[in-house]
Amino acid sequence: MASGKLVQLSSDCASGKKDIKSSCEELKVFNDYFIGADYDAFKIDTGVDGNSLNFTLMYIYNRQNWKASLSQINPQRFNNLAFRLQLAYR
């Protein structure tokens, strides 16, 4: 999954958007699924083509609205950090 699509998907999930286009049903209800007892990271990893770390970091960034609450964090640099962490994780 391309980085731009992943960022958009994480933003859509964080905002609770209901018309998310994904074959992974868990992504369509991610806000509830993420905090539920039945959370399965493997399903999410499969749904985002092996980029679950990057997706989760960007989801939390958007869900917690770090852009507003931590104004010193540059959104592009955070995206790059999340992407590089995912690469290092592999």
Longest dimension (CA), the chain: 36
DSSP H helices, 1-90, are: 3-15, 25-28, 30-35, 41-47, 52-63, 66-69, 75-89
**78 phi and psi, to 5 degrees?**
-65, -40
Q: Is the pLDDT assigned to residue 89 strictly greater than 80?
A: no
Q: Is the pLDDT assigned to residue 10 strictly greater than 70?
A: yes
Instruction: Please give the tally of structural domains in the chain.
Output: 1
36-69: per-residue pLDDT in tens?
Answer: 999 999 999 999 998 898 899 889 888 888 878 8
Question: Cβ(56)–Cβ(13) under 8 Å?
Answer: no
pTM over 0.85: no
Domain that holds residue 24: 3-89
Percent of the chain with pLDDT over 70: 97
